[in-house]
Amino acid sequence: MSEKFDVIVIGSGPAGYVAAIRAAQLGLKTACVEKWRDETGKGVNGGTCLNVGCIPSKALLDSSYKYHEAKDELAIHGISTKGVDINVPSMIARKAQIVKQLTGGIAGLFKSNGVTSLFGTGKLLAGKKVEVTDFDGKVVVYEAENVILASGSFPINIPPAAVDNDVIVNSTGALEFSTIPKRLGVIGAGVIGLELGSVWNRLGSKVVVLEALDSFLAIMDQQIAKETQKILTKQGMDIRTSSRVTGSKVTGKEVTVTFLDKDGKEQHETFDKLIVCVGRRPYTENLLAGDSGVNLDERGFIFVNEFCATNAPGVWAIGDVVRGPMLAHKGSEEGVMVAERIAGQKTQMNYDIIPNVIYTHPEVASVGKTEEQIKASGEPYNIGTFPFSASGRAMAANETQGLVKIIAHAVTDRILGAHIVGPSAADLIQQVAIAMEFGSSAEDLGMMVFGHPTLSETIHEAALAVHGHAIHIANKKKR
Ligand code: FAD
Ligand code: AMP
């Protein structure tokens, strides 16, 4: 008889490991299967997020920003720095150490919560059976009352720029450069492209970002996107929209990229390294037996309903492998929802209030609807904005670029969306997200007492500005 679990999770990224821990907390006998191996061949938990995604990219963003700050930003405070240098292998080693610590931390959390950790490749068979093939090829079949598929996603490859893991890399390779490329090309001005481009731009690479679409950050609020483009361009990033890459040729240690400009004319640029960041695809390879009963949608995601149930009873799917934004926190919350529903609770998730952040400097963050989406829906709305240049705290920190924008319904005053480019935008946006979750109006937020001097006061002032009541800026409209 094979061992039976209440819950088997396939994949231990932020969706899967959170689901497994929550299920175990609820008293369910839980196992989590993971096939990721570190450079020594040992199994590791944490998925894309911890190993090659959110965490390592933020480690390099923080290191590179500190270098840039020490070199170029401290003089204004009266601090002189000379001979500031960066040791790239040390920076990469620090990142690796953080990854090791955090992935090891998940092993510890599994142990303390009583989750059985299984290393190997999991495959869903018919009848909620899970076949696990370990790293030595040994196969064991487990049974489960419920199976949660959390197999994540992988980077999209495009034929015009095939990754060779030397000159042409994807986001994973871009976390491992041992020297600073003199000329760096980035294909795709999405979140990942802008973050990785920023890392190497700060360290001295001449960065060119090639984006096929005509507009920059097309799905974001366009006022914020335009401001962001201006700021990043000022930092030296050469962002070229309407530039579709059609080919590349590697010669020795450099690559010449061919792209079509806005007039359809062929252009060429030569780089020492090229990062391909054109999006990610759901990962379902070898995950489902032919008779597993689980359906994919037309884009290759596992098909699920609003509670992440697949069409096979007792089989659920969460995270990047299902519809919705490919964000770690979206998958984690789906994991909690599914574990609690398996345990008989009626947990739901609010997909309308998921914050989204780009960790450039300054950060770009948004929650809820953009002005363009609201306009298209025909809903009447008011806008309040407040620039960081009018914030005393931002001035003290010499972080005055950017603005906060809050959009509220013109009749109900309920906050529909908030968009920020500016210092600590990632943390500031959460304040509006909390307010939105509790159904706050712009007036509610405006009536709250905010500490002084804080960056949070920009949220307060933007909320007040929705009705023309901002104090520290001339209001466009007075009421
Ligand atoms: P994953 O993290 O991809 O984990 C899936 C796991 O399943 C993997 O470990 C995989 O090995 C395993 N697996 C797959 N198939 C099997 C199988 N058959 N058997 C066993 N195991 C299997 N998101 C944010 O929210 N914030 C950020 O700042 C951010 N930065 C990012 C930066 C980069 C460079 C990248 C690449 C991504 C970033 N993301 C960020 C996205 C984030 O990493 C993903 O949204 C998140 O990791 C998805 O979680 P997941 O659990 O669904 O999948
Ligand atoms: P994201 O999906 O947010 O990671 O962003 C990926 C970006 O890559 C999108 O903005 C795409 O328009 C862009 N992209 C995809 N293919 C190409 C290409 N061949 N040349 C330039 N940009 C591309």
Q: Which atom of ligand 1 sits closest to the CA of residue 359?
A: 28
Residue nearest to atom 47 of ligand 1 (CA): 49
Ligand 1 pocket mutation, candidates 12, 22, 36, 49, criterion most atoms within 8 A of CB: 49
Angle at 282 between CA 280 and CA 286, to 5 degrees: 130
**68 CA → ligand 1 middle, Å:** 29
Q: Which atom of ligand 1 sits closest to the CA of residue 287?
A: 18
Please tell me what DSSP assigns to residue 115. Answer: P
The ligand that comes nearest to the alpha carbon of residue 277 is 2
Tell me, using a 6 A CB cutoff, whether residue 213 lines ligand 2.
Answer: yes
Ligand 1 pocket mutation, candidates 34, 48, 358, criterion most atoms within 8 A of CB: 48
Q: Which atom of ligand 1 sits closest to the CA of residue 14?
A: 51
CA atoms of 471 and 451, how far apart (whole Å): 15
CA atoms of 70 and 80, how far apart (whole Å): 9
Spell out the residues 6+ positions from residue 302 whose beta carbon is closer than 8 angstroms to its own: 149, 282, 284, 294, 295, 296, 310, 317, 321, 322
Residue nearest to atom 5 of ligand 2 (CA): 190
Residue nearest to atom 13 of ligand 2 (CA): 188
The ligand that comes nearest to the alpha carbon of residue 358 is 1
Angle at 364 between CA 245 and CA 58, to 5 degrees: 80
**245 CA → ligand 2 middle, Å:** 9
The ligand that comes nearest to the alpha carbon of residue 359 is 1
Q: Is residue 419 flagged as an active site residue?
A: no
**192 CA → ligand 2 middle, Å:** 10
Tell me, using a 6 A CB cutoff, whether residue 374 lines ligand 2.
Answer: no
Domains 4-155+281-342 and 356-465 agree in fold? no
Rounded to the nearest angstrom, the gap between the alpha carbon of residue 206 and the centroid of all alpha carbons in its chain is 24
Neighbours of 407 (CB within 10 A): 27
CATH architecture of 356-465: 2-Layer Sandwich (3.30)
The ligand that comes nearest to the alpha carbon of residue 267 is 2
**190 CA → ligand 2 middle, Å:** 7
Residue nearest to atom 46 of ligand 1 (CA): 328
CA atoms of 269 and 317, how far apart (whole Å): 42
What CATH number matches the domain at 159-278, 2.40.30.260, 3.40.30.10, 3.50.50.60, 3.30.465.10?
A: 3.50.50.60
Q: How many residues are recorded in the chain?
A: 479
Q: Which atom of ligand 1 sits closest to the CA of residue 280?
A: 36
Q: Which residue has the tokens 């009536």?
A: 447
Per-residue pLDDT of the chain (479 residues; tens, 9 = 90+): 589 999 999 999 999 999 999 999 999 999 999 999 999 999 999 999 999 999 999 999 999 999 999 999 999 999 999 999 999 999 999 999 999 999 999 999 999 999 999 999 999 999 999 999 999 999 999 999 999 999 999 999 999 999 999 999 999 999 999 999 999 999 999 999 999 999 999 999 999 999 999 999 999 999 999 999 999 999 999 999 999 999 999 999 999 999 999 999 999 999 999 999 999 999 999 999 999 999 999 999 999 999 999 999 999 999 999 999 999 999 999 999 999 999 999 999 999 999 999 999 999 999 999 999 999 999 999 999 999 999 999 999 999 999 999 999 999 999 999 999 999 999 999 999 999 999 999 999 999 999 999 999 999 999 999 999 999 999 976 55
The answer to whether the CB of 370 falls within 8 A of the CB of 221 is: yes
Domains of the chain, by residue range, sit at 4-155+281-342, 159-278, 356-465
pLDDT digits 0-9 by tens, 382-423 = 999 999 999 999 999 999 999 999 999 999 999 999 999 999
Spell out the residues 6+ positions from residue 221 whose beta carbon is closer than 8 angstroms to its own: 366, 370, 371, 372, 405, 417, 419
CA atoms of 325 and 276, how far apart (whole Å): 20
**235 CA → ligand 2 middle, Å:** 21
Nearest residue to 148 via CA among 351, 13, 11: 11
Q: With the C-alpha atoms ordered 12, 13, 14, 16, is the resulting torsion angle positive or negative? A: negative
**Which of 361, 409, 452, 469 is an active site residue?**
452
CA atoms of 244 and 197, how far apart (whole Å): 18
**99 CA → ligand 1 middle, Å:** 14
Return the CATH class of domain 4-155+281-342. alpha beta
Tell me, using a 6 A CB cutoff, whether residue 245 lines ligand 2.
Answer: yes
Q: Treating both helix axes as pointing N-terminal to C-terminal, what angle do 88-113 and 54-68 enclose, rounded to 10 degrees?
A: 140
Q: Treating both helix axes as pointing N-terminal to C-terminal, what angle do 191-202 and 54-68 enclose, rounded to 10 degrees?
A: 30
Q: Supply the pTM of this predicted model.
A: 0.97
pLDDT digits 0-9 by tens, 261-289 = 999 999 999 999 999 999 999 999 999 99
CA atoms of 256 and 247, how far apart (whole Å): 8
The answer to whether the CB of 456 falls within 8 A of the CB of 434 is: no
Beta strands in 376-466 (DSSP E): 381-387, 403-409, 415-422
Nearest residue to 418 via CA among 449, 453, 473, 461: 461
**93 CA → ligand 1 middle, Å:** 21
Ligand 2 pocket mutation, candidates 211, 217, 268, criterion most atoms within 8 A of CB: 211
Q: Which residue has the tokens 């994807």?
A: 170
